[in-house]
Chains A and B, each alone.
Chain A
Amino acid sequence: MPATISRIHKRDTIKSVLIVIPSIILIGIFVYGFIGNTIYTSLTDWGTKAGLALHPVKHFIGLSNYKSLFTGFIHGRFRQDLVNMVFYSIFLLTGTLLLGFFLAVLLDRSVKYEGFFRTVFLYPMSLSFIVTGTIWRWLLAPSGGVNLIPKLFGLPKSNFLWISNRQAVLIFNWQNIITILLVPFALIMIYLLIRNILKRNRNKVITYSILSLLSFLYIFVLKNILPPILPFKELHGFKLATIGIIIAAIWQYSGYTMALYLAGLRGLPASIREASKIDGATEFQYYIKIAIPNIRPITLSAVIILSHISLKMFDLIYAMAGADNINTGHPSINMYLTTFRANQFAMGAAMAVILFIIAALFIIPYMLHSHRERQGK
């Protein structure tokens, strides 16, 4: 008897493998193979001459596409796009998380017509970025729409240029970019170092002290000795033209975080809430001290999904500002223009790889984390 069971089991396993093999092959080629292919393309000069030819000329040129993206004279726009992407992502994340949590707290009580309010807050996310972008472009037109709202309150109308604004704030010189990135990194390392000294975790103390020493070495010594990464001064900053796009994106996705948080808050056992009430905690304290720490997994997945969405800002920017607006650019838009309009495939591939690496920094740890959780179950 056990022999037949194990034989059936074996046959079932073969069937299972046969079922998933097509998916494995397809994902293997279309995801992993294609990623490898794009990485290879980014190391060539494909597209410097007749990129669309049947047998395009390609030479292996190493990392020189990357070098020119970060330090080349003509790629200043790409560097501003990267800066824009950082601001888009930060504002989209903080905006939707805060607003979404706030909306969830508002609805997390017996609210009359809750279904109606939930629907209204969530409907934007069912729409395409192209649809909402088209509408928001009209709303943010310089002499109408949102700019007329102050008139409702008897104030003069606003003249803020939303999409066509050329101003920037928080301006910095690209020559200092490494320092700017290293200062927060060093501060985090010092924080972790102190924490691990207190915990007496020797190995980590060593790692973190080396990392923070190295960053200080660069900031205070190497920076002044090494040649600057750009031979000329190049200013970048937070472009005010992106504010309108950020508002539209937050409007569209705050309902999404609301839905996630609402599900999370409803999932908390009522007894916790009762207990905190008995302990004399106010509602505010309940949310800050008990609810937020308990729904941390939800915040984590929201952050992952939203950072993925912020890479998809391509659609929204395209619809609101067009692909050619320099002030609202994003690396994904630049990648599209470089690859499909200018046919510079290798340079476009390098931009795609940079986007991918940034995304992978967030995704891979998250995936390993959830993989381990599934394994543990």
Chain B
Amino acid sequence: MRKINININKKLFYAFLTLLALIYLIPLYMALVTSLKNPADINLLTSWALPKHINFGGFTQAFSLLKTDVSNSLILAFSATIISAFVGSINGYVFSKNKFKGSETIFTLLLFGMFIPYQIILIPLFQLLKTIGLYGSLTGLILAHVIYGIPIVTLIFRNFYDQISNSIMESGRLDGAGYFGLYFRLILPLSIPGFVVVGIWQFTQIWNEFLWGITLTRKSANPITVGLAQLAGGQAVSWNIPMAGALMAAVPVLIIYIFLGKYFIKGLLSGSVKE
């Protein structure tokens, strides 16, 4: 009798969990079915229904409207991520393995930059970029992402290097390796998981960023988020196009997340749980 009860409970439990999962998937479903519909078939009353005919027109149109934005975002995310990963690695090496007097305080002061609402630096940033002629360009945006990325990448690498035991460093020193020898020959080869975590974290953050994109770039340098917001904000567009655009903007990060989710969660935890 008890066993049957447990079975029923188990079934109810899984049914409930599946229902929850379905609820979480609703927006994805909605974007998918709407993006594949004919503009003429898109009607709020039948918004839940599957498309009668599959029409990829939304995707081709969205792509032709957003292709500069997509390539801007790819350039932006790749270059800013690579630069800030190396900055983070060498900084993390100092703050974890070569602490000096006052380094903890400096580290805390650096970290502060990660928690500020970016509105507080937006006006001088805008002014500075205008003065040095980088306002409106992709370079200016890359610069902003690299600089304001310093705190988080330093934090992630520091936490990562804290887990590498100091005895490795000692034996390296006994073998005669110097400061940079230790870094390049010992630490850097061990850093690949750290680079993956930082790379994924920075890439998704930069790919998804919107505020700087809309305030610091001109049309020709708009990232995908800005292009999508403008596409969806226009009144006359039929809804299959912005939905297709939304999925296009979602695909790179979703792929990263689904295949490298483990590292994504690591980045997420190291950004918040400080061991």
Contact = CB atoms under 8 A, between A and B. Distances in A.
> Are these two chains actual partners, yes or no?
yes
A293 B275 CA distance: 17
Interface string A98-110: 0000010010000
Given A34-B125, A37-B124, A301-B273, A371 B112 contact: no
Contact of B121 (A16, A30, A141, A374): A30
Interface string A340-377: 10000100110111011001000100110011011100
A363 B110 contact: no
Interface in B205-226: 207-211, 214-215, 225
A124 B24 contact: yes
Contacts of B245: 134
Interface of B is mostly: helix
A271 interface: no
Interface string A13-48: 101110110011011001101110110010000000
Contacts of B113: 27, 30-31
Contacts of B154: 23
A345 B123 contact: yes
Given A122-B261, A129-B210, A332 B117 contact: yes
Contact of B106 (A20, A297, A305): A20
Contacts of B249: 128, 130-131
Interface string A236-266: 0000000000000001000110011001100
B123 A130 contact: no
A219 interface: no
B110 A322 contact: no
Contacts of B256: 126
Interface stretch (A60-68, A223-231, A312-320): A312-320
A103 B17 CA distance: 9
22 contacts: A23-B91, A33-B124, A41-B123, A103-B20, A112-B14, A120-B25, A123-B24, A124-B24, A127-B254, A148-B47, A251-B24, A260-B273, A263-B273, A312-B211, A315-B211, A332-B119, A339-B123, A352-B119, A356-B119, A370-B274, A371-B105, A375-B104
A336 B211 CA distance: 9
A302 interface: yes
B26 A356 contact: no
B155 to A, nearest CB: 10
B121 to A, nearest CB: 4
A315 B45 CA distance: 28
A335 interface: yes
Given A19-B94, A23-B91, A126 B204 contact: yes
A93 to B, nearest CB: 14
B202 interface: no
Contact of B243 (A125, A138, A263, A332): A138
Contact of B120 (A34, A143, A298): A34
B265 A355 contact: no
B122 interface: yes
A375 B103 CA distance: 10
Contacts of A311: 117
Interface in B18-42: 20-21, 24-28, 30-31, 34
Interface of A: 11-13, 15-17, 19-20, 23-24, 26-27, 30-31, 33-35, 37-38, 41, 103, 106, 111-112, 116-117, 119-132, 134-139, 141-145, 148, 251, 255-256, 259-260, 263-264, 297-298, 301-302, 304-305, 308, 311-312, 314-315, 318-319, 322, 332, 335-336, 339-340, 345, 348-349, 351-353, 355-356, 359, 363, 366-367, 370-371, 373-375
Contacts of B196: none
Contact of A123 (B17, B208, B254, B268): B254
B94 to A, nearest CB: 5
B45 A260 contact: no
A301 B274 contact: yes
Interface residues of B, number: 89
A371 B109 CA distance: 10
Interface in B54-95: 87, 90-91, 93-95
A365 to B, nearest CB: 12
Which 6 interchain pairs have the tightest Cβ spacing?
A: A144-B44, A128-B208, A126-B257, A34-B121, A352-B119, A356-B120
B98 interface: yes
A301 B123 contact: no
A374 B111 CA distance: 13
Contacts of B47: 138, 141, 144-145, 148
Contacts of A20: 91, 94-95, 103, 106
A250 to B, nearest CB: 11
Nearest to B182: A12
A13 B239 contact: no
A34 B124 contact: yes
Nearest to B87: A23
Nearest to A311: B117
B151 interface: yes
Given A30-B121, A298-B273, A332-B119, A137 B30 contact: no
A119 B119 contact: no
Given A23-B154, A30-B147, A143-B44, A305 B27 contact: no
A126 B116 CA distance: 21
Contacts of B271: 305
B27 A363 contact: no
A125, A138, A263, A339: residue with the most chain B Cβ atoms closer than 10 Å: A138
B188 interface: no
A130 B17 contact: no
Interface string B174-187: 00000110000000
Contacts of A30: 113, 121, 125, 147-148
Given A117-B17, A259-B265, 14 more contacts: A20-B106, A27-B151, A34-B125, A35-B121, A119-B261, A123-B258, A128-B249, A131-B208, A135-B243, A137-B232, A308-B115, A319-B229, A367-B115, A373-B274
